[in-house]
Structures are given as structure tokens and as C-alpha cells.
Chain A
Amino acid sequence: MADHPEGGLTVYAALWRHLPGPTWARALLCLVLAFVVVAVCFLWVFPAISPLLPFTESTVGP
């Protein structure tokens, strides 16, 4: 395994090392993981955060 000398220091490098399979399979898994993270953010996390921010208020009220 031709790891970067300091690759073992970071979380993403550790993730890459722990993924199974050849390079192409690891790359594919990384893409899938990234997609899952984006989907969770778009569907649940961001809709929950947005009401706490004032950018989209359009009504008048007390």
C-alpha cells in the first residue's frame, strides 16, 4: 500500500484505508457515502436548520 507518509494522520485517510477492495471500488464507495451524506442533509438536516435563520421571512406580524 503506497500511503502518503502522513496519510495515516487524518480521518479521511483512515476512512480510505479501512474501505475494502481495489482502488476503483473504494472510489465508488466514497461517492456513495458522499451521496448519502448530501441526501441526509437535503432531506432532513437543512430543512430543520433553515427556520432558525432569518433569510426567508416574508410575512408581517408581531
Chain B
Amino acid sequence: MRIRRLVGWTGELLMTLGVLLLLFAAWQLWWTDVAANRVQTQIVQTLEDDFARGTPAPVLDNGIPTAIGKDGAFAVVRIPRFGADYARPVIQGTGRPVLALGIGHYVGTAGPGQVGNFAVAGHRTTYGRPFHDIDRLEDGDRVVVETAGTVYVYEVTSREIVRPWEVDVLDPVPGKPGGTPTEATITMTSCHPKYSATQRFVVHGRLVAEVPRAEWDPSKWLTTPKGA
């Protein structure tokens, strides 16, 4: 009788653990997307409202106008390759809580449009997965960074897959530690392969235009690339 009871409890325990594991998978793969998409859409909306009202941007560290929107968001990224309505907030920092709110800006790297490397990170999977399709970016694809006063247009120039500790992709001249930058570049990092932590997918681009907000024409700059 005692053995039967033990077997019964063990069976129940295992089934309960199995159900909890499935629940965790559902939370991580589905619920974090649902929750983060809602939050990120709200942050973008708040930012766009602030931009439209011309709310002055307070200057914080290394010249980057931060904290004008909710949660320290200071820019909106649009990537036509990812869809016509793709818009994600950029927030200062790359900590885990920040990356649940949008794209994170590596502290200490250049700001949008500045000479040097504007480096950002975003989730490939889960938490709204802003960089889910980063591997589909091709040379010449546009990455548009909207700030309070100016809209910066970058074009993709290269991509690479690196190990997680290869931080020189973030350098002012990417891949050339100690180099002195002469142009404004962008670097985006995300995990690779999907659902893994073994590598990072990295995309580099360079600034091709900066347009004052008043003269910004989405129909000119946000055209959908071929094959998107």
C-alpha cells in the first residue's frame, strides 16, 4: 500500500512538473511577445506624440537626447524590410529590463547621426522580438532612426556572425579598436541562431541622410524594398 502511494505521488509530481514546463514555454514564447508588443507600441505612440508637439529633448550623456518619452525612450526605429508599419522605440541601456521595452542603445557608443558608431541591441525571439528578421537585411536596406528634431537614414553595408564576447563590433570604427571614426555608422546586434546564446548576428550600416523633422517625407524614404 505504501509503495502504491509513493508511485501515485511521484506520478502526480512528474505530471505537475511537465505541465509547469509547458506553461513556462508558453509564457516565454508567446506571452512575453503579447505583453512586450503592447508596451512597445505604447512607447512609440507616446514618443511620436512628443515629437509632434516639439517637446524639447533634455540632453543627457554623450549628447544623446534621452528620457523624453516613457521609460527613457529617445528615438523610433523604422525598417521597411521588416514591414511598412514596423516601428520600435530605442531606449538608453542594454540591460534585460530595457530590452523588454524595445531596442537598447549601448551606453557609451555614439548617438543617432553622430560621427562614430550608434550601436543598438534587440531581441531576436521573445519580448516583442524587434530584431527577429535581422538576418533578412540586405545591403542598401534602410534603417531609419527618428529623433525629436531630426530623422536619420542609415543603409545596411554588411553583416557578420560573431561570438558573444567580440565587443569590437561596437567600436567607433567597427572591428578596428582604437580607430578614429570619420563617418556615422550604425551597428545592430541580436542573438543567433534563434533561441540560442552561442553567437550574435551583427548588422552594420552607414548614415546616408539626415532630414529635419519638418521636411521628413515617409513616402520618399520608407519605401518597401524588393522581396520584403
Contact = CB atoms under 8 A, between A and B. Distances in A.
Interface residues of A, number: 21
Interface string A29-62: 0000000001001100010011100111111111
Contacts of B169: 60
B200 to A, nearest CB: 5
User: What is the interface of chain B mostly: helix, strand, loop, or mixed?
Assistant: mixed
A10 interface: yes
Contact of B126 (A41, A56, A59): A56
Given A10-B12, A11-B12, A58 B189 contact: yes
B167 to A, nearest CB: 5
A46 B8 CA distance: 27
A42 B170 CA distance: 35
A57 B99 CA distance: 10
Interface of B: 4-5, 8-9, 11-12, 20, 23-24, 27-28, 31, 94, 96, 99, 104, 106, 121-127, 131, 162, 164-167, 169-170, 189-191, 195-197, 200, 202
Interface of A: 6, 9-12, 38, 41-42, 46, 49-51, 54-62
